[in-house]
Amino acid sequence: MSPETQTTFPRHVRHGSNSGQPVSRRDGRLKVTGAATYAADNHPEGLLHAVIATSTIARGRVRSLDVEAAKAHPGVVEVITPANRMPLHHDPNEKMPPFGFRVEVLQDDTVRYVNQPIAVVVAETLEAATEGVRLLAPRYEEEDARTGLDNGLRHEAQSVGVGAPGTVSFGDLDAGLKGAARVTEGDYSTPPQYHNAMEPHAVVAEWDGDTVTIDMPNQALRMSAASYAAYFGIPAENVLIRSPFLGGGFGSKAILNGPQILGILAARQLGRPVKLVLTRAQMYGPVGHRGRTWQKLRLGTGDDGKLTALHHHSIGATSSFDDFVEPAANASLMLYESPAIRVEHEGLRLDIGTPGPMRAPGEASGSASLEIAMDEAAEACGMDPLAFRLANYAETQPGTGKPFSSKALRECYEQGAAAFGWAGRPLEAGTMRDENGFLVGWGMGTAVFPCPQFPAEARATLRADGTALVETGGADMGQGAWTALAQLAAESLGLDLDKVEFHSGRSDLPDGGVAGGSGHTASAGQALSNAGGDVIARLTELATGDPDSPLFGAGNIGVVAAEGRLHRRDDETRSQSYADILARAGQKELVGTGKSGRDPASAEAFAMHSHGAVFAEVKIDPNLMQVRVSRLVGAFAAGRIINPKLVRSQYYGGMIWGISFALQEEAVADRRTGRIMNADLAEYHVPVNADVPRMEAILVPEEDPRVSPLGIKGVGEIGVTGTVGAIANAVWHATGIRVRNYPIRIEDLLRRR
Ligand code: MOS
């Protein structure tokens, strides 16, 4: 760690002076008035429009494209195909570090999945480019598509997700199963899901010689800039990415994809600015998705209701040409104590686009199954599901025995259960009805998500008038970074929030790191706080060394920074304003910098996670068997909470995506052709207001100086994780029917009634 990475909470800061306040989002007005501009809102002079032609087959090769017809259409400037696409400096068939994805950018005529880019038509207008694509009338040599378990290629997955091991084993599984009083087991599945951010992937690229300016929604600006530079053989600093707002990311804007690279490429090849925006349908393939899984769980339990063995096996669909496998089974390494745990992953190669990280990758699909399995085991033991989870509470990290940096999960269980009224739950299924005769069920699930802290950098500039500019090149994709990060910066600077101007969303700012893994506030927030601390340290030096300052000689006693003034710690009536300190020192401004990154010793010594407990009530019409979630209560412990209003929104959002996972989302592919039959928001279901019940999110206090000096964990993705299983378990409790395949559908309940 560099000296700028602080290891203790800065002494000059008054806790809660700014962070901890439920400030409304600073970008709210811009967004509701339409003043916030997104990538596709940019129209540089001389702009051309690019539209990609995408394959309609899943496997084979493109035999012909009627390039002449497309080029003859008025307004069409160029048709880019594998035959004339400019060469790239980095071979797109080779994985691009650090995440190691491979992209399709017209490197050959092979078709590997439906909606793969096969050509780009560039024209003076969007209409001409769109018509040009139609005129290409591709002909294919089609091969049988591999679309399922029966015809895909299974293989042991060496690594899953972005670098986690594919197999992990602790203790003697066979002995644990043999010694169990009972073994429960089941097969579970989760469908392919697509991110479906409201804003489609878009790019506006403008080259000037060997430098390029790119407007695009992006969750990982610096990393992407370096990757684009590698593709085009230019220095990383020649790539400027601007990404002030994202209309949702969910992981799909953290990784590289072919279409956006093609937009940048088209601009380079044609020497004019180019805009390329995906259609909704084109987002189902080349920009990642949550891969389908088939999971098997075996749980051994003793007479005392304690696990004796936990076996979680998952097959994850991936593409024929890349390796991302949903790390689903790894969820079983995070939650429950067991003397023997084994998690295993296999990959299944299909003719699909490569899956990638999406909304709690691994933890969501894995805990969706594990939480049902736990419910089944509790049922087999004749135990209340919450009592069963408490009996198997992991005091230390399962398997490794590492202590947790903090874990207020017990408090989450208690507070969530109390708010929900869990104590009144009958053990038996199918016993509750509401006043309308609807079946009522109560279920619960445990929520968990790791809390990473990524490397990030920030800069704080104190100006002569006592206001400050703070900068970090991160991304606000709706989670509220603009607000929470500014609060942290303001607190570290001892300034009111309205005195702090926050700039983000550009790759030429200090590297804000990745807005993903629910780690942006912990990462960029710490860097900003350290940058503010650096400013105050420099300011303190100026003041305490000035014989005419009321702070003269206070160096050893220390100062407190508040409301734009430095105060002596031993006598706070003696103070001096920042503006005055700068003026007396003859300085127009004062710049401080800060970095963050997880302390390696801490990472080695502790397991680090956010935790939570989710309680769900469902109501089911006994004639139609339509499931409605009527109540959701989530209690989460995630370290220090910077903005309770926005954090609550994050939890609500996560829980709503949990409803979506449990009951709605599924991309349905035609078995024969691999074509996705519901590649639009009319038929690919996501929750609307009418699907969202009364929700409560409880913010359970938790202090954790070990995850980082500020003690911030993550709040973005965890809300999805417990909710899915809680709803499935509530459906069982209402009906006595165990549905182990997501999403749970009316027909699953009707046919087994
Ligand atoms: Mo997320 S799936 O870490 O953007």
With b for 16 or more beta-carbon neighbours within 10 A and e for fewer, the 655-684 pattern comes to bbbbbbbbbbbbbebeeebbbbeebeeeeb
The whole-angstrom separation of Cα 553 and Cα 531 is 24
**What is the reported pLDDT for 17?**
73
Atom number, ligand 1, closest to the C-alpha of residue 252: 4
The whole-angstrom separation of Cα 606 and Cα 492 is 27
Catalytic pick among 104, 471, 491, 717 = 717
Average pLDDT score, the chain: 96
Atom number, ligand 1, closest to the C-alpha of residue 516: 3
**What is the reported pLDDT for 18?**
83
Return the CATH class of domain 9-36+456-597. alpha beta
The whole-angstrom separation of Cα 676 and Cα 115 is 9
pTM of structure: 0.97
Choice from 101, 289, 359, 363 to test ligand 1 binding pocket (greatest atom count within 8 A of CB)? 359
Using a 6 Å cutoff on CB, does residue 516 contact ligand 1?
yes
Q: Which of 15-24, 260-269, 469-478, 516-525 has the lowest mean pLDDT?
A: 15-24
Q: Do domains 9-36+456-597 and 362-452+603-751 have the same CATH topology?
A: yes
Cβ(661)–Cβ(720) below 8 Å: yes
The whole-angstrom separation of Cα 242 and Cα 239 is 10
Q: Is 141 a catalytic residue?
A: no
CATH architecture of 362-452+603-751: 2-Layer Sandwich (3.30)
Nearest CA to ligand 1 atom 4: 251
Using a 6 Å cutoff on CB, does residue 161 contact ligand 1?
no
- In single-letter form, the type of residue at position 81 comes to T
**What is the reported pLDDT for 4?**
46
What is the maximum span of the chain, computed from C-alpha positions, in angstroms?
86
Q: How many CA atoms lie within 13 A of 387 on its CB side?
A: 12
Using a 6 Å cutoff on CB, does residue 249 contact ligand 1?
yes
Atom number, ligand 1, closest to the C-alpha of residue 219: 4
The string of pLDDT tens digits covering residues 635-680 is 999 999 999 999 999 999 999 999 999 999 999 999 999 999 999 9
Using a 6 Å cutoff on CB, does residue 517 contact ligand 1?
yes
The string of pLDDT tens digits covering residues 382-405 is 999 999 999 999 999 999 999 999
Domain spans, the chain: 9-36+456-597, 362-452+603-751
Work out the average pLDDT over 133-147: 97
The string of pLDDT tens digits covering residues 569-590 is 999 999 999 999 999 999 999 9
Q: Which residue has the tokens 């760690």?
A: 1
Q: Is the pLDDT of residue 349 over 80?
A: yes
Using a 6 Å cutoff on CB, does residue 219 contact ligand 1?
yes
Decide the pairing of beta strands 48-54 and 274-277.
parallel
The string of pLDDT tens digits covering residues 578-634 is 999 999 999 999 999 999 999 999 999 999 999 999 999 999 999 999 999 999 999
The whole-angstrom separation of Cα 254 and Cα 268 is 23
The string of pLDDT tens digits covering residues 411-456 is 999 999 999 999 999 999 999 999 999 999 999 999 999 999 999 9
- DSSP state, 403? B
Work out the average pLDDT over 303-332: 97
The whole-angstrom separation of Cα 331 and Cα 161 is 12
Q: Is the peptide bond before 361 cis (omega within 30 degrees of 0)?
A: no
The string of pLDDT tens digits covering residues 194-226 is 999 999 999 999 999 999 999 999 999 999 999
Strand order in the sheet with 239-242: 76-80, 117-123, 48-54, 274-277, 202-208, 211-215, 239-242
Using a 6 Å cutoff on CB, does residue 254 contact ligand 1?
yes
Q: In the chain, what percentage of residues exceed pLDDT 90?
A: 95
